[in-house]
């Protein structure tokens, strides 16, 4: 296990797990924690993690892989103190065309996957009486989105999960929050047709898409020492899209 050191802000260096950390928003989150001096493991299904991060192969839909991945991360970095449940997928279509398989696949990764990793991480956080859990939700979890009944349901449910965790283990020094990005430039949004992007751009008060670094900054804040009294919150990063929801 690596020695405990301090981060660039003189806070203790923590053992961090980010799911889906090999690209997109997760990759930016990994980079941000590494730059601050934390010990970071990325759980994903392939690809190169950022230099300095421990890449762990882990499909969050498989409980055995989740358990093995936590063991690997803990051997390298110590008991997990910060968890960012970020892995997510979309399978968009209108409800009349949405198959049970489309529904199950999205719920299994986005919601049940988050439950699996949160449950496993909570163990060491409760024992250590310190922990930060951040779920990557989405603005559409509370705002709604045509064609995303499965995805928006999975993201809305993360709010309930964070708030229930807050009530359950908030007294043990563990916080659980949701960061709710809007439209961020990643592989996930690169596949959207131009007319859909144009429609959203017209609705975003900031009049632009967001950048992964902007979401990573919000996550780092929620996971910081200073955010210890913030729990059960939904922190939007959406340029004003969905505000008030
Ligand atoms: P990307 O599609 O760029 O990346 C998705 C990440 O999730 C990849 O690292 C992928 O790993 C990982 N992943 C997918 N399925 C699994 C699985 N079964 N087990 C482990 N890892 C998995 O997505 P984004 O970076 O855009 O999105 C990251 C999060 O942010 C998601 O939860 C998404 O819903 C949310 N979000 C994104 C927004 C956006 O505009 N981009 C807006 C709002 C929320 P691999 O490469 O190995 O497949």
DSSP one-letter string for 30-67: HHHHHHHT-EEEEEESSSPPPTTSEEEE--TT-HHHHH
Q: Is the pLDDT of residue 2 over 70?
A: no
Say what angle helices 63-77 and 113-128 make with each other, to 10 degrees. Answer: 40
End-to-end Cα separation, the chain, in angstroms = 43
Q: For residue range 132-153, list pLDDT tens digits in order.
A: 999 999 999 999 999 999 999 9
Q: What is the DSSP letter of 147?
A: T
Ligand 1 close to Cβ of residue 116 (< 6 A)? no
What is the biggest distance separating any 2 CA atoms in the chain, rounded to whole angstroms? Answer: 54
CA 212 to ligand 1 centroid distance, Å: 12
As a whole number of angstroms, the distance between CA 37 and CA 5 comes to 8
Q: Residue 22: CB within 6 Å of ligand 1?
A: yes
How far is it, in rounded angstroms, from Cα 237 to Cα 96? Answer: 31
Q: What is the pLDDT of residues 212-221, one digit of tens each?
A: 999 999 999 9
Which among 47, 22, 19 has a CA at the least distance from the CA of 219?
19
pLDDT band, residue 53 (cuts 50/70/90) = very high
Catalytic residue among 151, 156, 166, 239: 151
Whether residue 143 has its Cβ less than 6 Å from ligand 1: no
Residue 115 has pLDDT above 80, yes or no: yes
What is the residue whose two structure tokens read 């960012």?
84
The two structure tokens encoding residue 87:
């892995």
H or E element that contains 140: helix 140-143
In the numeric block, the tokens 């559409």 are attached to 140
Pairing of strands 131-136, 174-181: parallel
Tens of pLDDT, residue by residue over 152-186, are 999 999 999 999 999 999 999 999 999 999 999 99
Cα–Cα dist 225/52, whole Å: 22
CA 223 to CA 82: how far, in whole Å?
A: 7
d(CA 97, CA 74): 43
Atom 32, ligand 1: which residue's CA is nearest?
A: 88
Lowest mean pLDDT among 45-49, 84-88, 161-165: 45-49
Q: Is the CB of 15 under 6 A from ligand 1?
A: no
Annotation says 151 is catalytic? yes
Tokens found for residue 223:
């996971």
Question: 159 CB contacts (<8 Å, ≥6 apart)?
Answer: 137, 141, 142, 178, 234
DSSP state of 186: S
Q: Are 236 and 243 in contact (CB under 8 A)?
A: yes
The reported pLDDT for the residue numbered 3 is: 53
Nearest ligand 1 atom to alpha carbon 25: 25
């Amino acid at each position: 296990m690596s020695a405990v050191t301090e981060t660039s802000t003189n806070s203790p260096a923590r053992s961090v797990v980010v799911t889906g950390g090999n690209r997109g928003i997760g990759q930016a989150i990994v980079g941000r924690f590494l730059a601050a001096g934390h010990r970071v493991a990325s759980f994903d299904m392939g690809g190169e993690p950022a230099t300095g991060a421990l890449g762990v192969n882990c499909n969050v839909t498989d409980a055995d892989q989740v358990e093995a991945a936590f063991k690997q991360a803990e051997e390298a970095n110590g008991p997990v103190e910060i968890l960012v449940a970020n892995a997510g997928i979309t399978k968009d279509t209108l409800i009349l065309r949405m198959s049970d398989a489309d529904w199950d696949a999205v719920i299994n990764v986005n919601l049940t996957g988050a439950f699996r990793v949160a449950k496993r991480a909570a163990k060491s956080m409760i024992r250590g009486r310190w922990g930060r859990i951040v779920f990557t939700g989405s603005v559409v979890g509370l705002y709604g989105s045509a064609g995303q009944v499965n995805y928006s349901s999975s993201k809305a449910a993360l709010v309930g999960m964070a708030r229930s965790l807050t009530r359950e283990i908030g007294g043990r020094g563990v916080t659980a929050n949701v960061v709710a990005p809007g439209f961020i430039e990643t592989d996930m949004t690169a596949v959207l047709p131009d007319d859909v992007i144009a429609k959203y751009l017209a609705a975003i008060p900031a009049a632009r898409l967001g950048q992964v670094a902007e979401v990573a900054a919000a996550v780092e804040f929620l996971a910081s020492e200073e955010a210890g009294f913030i729990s059960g919150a939904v922190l939007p990063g959406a340029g004003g899209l969905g505000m008030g929801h």
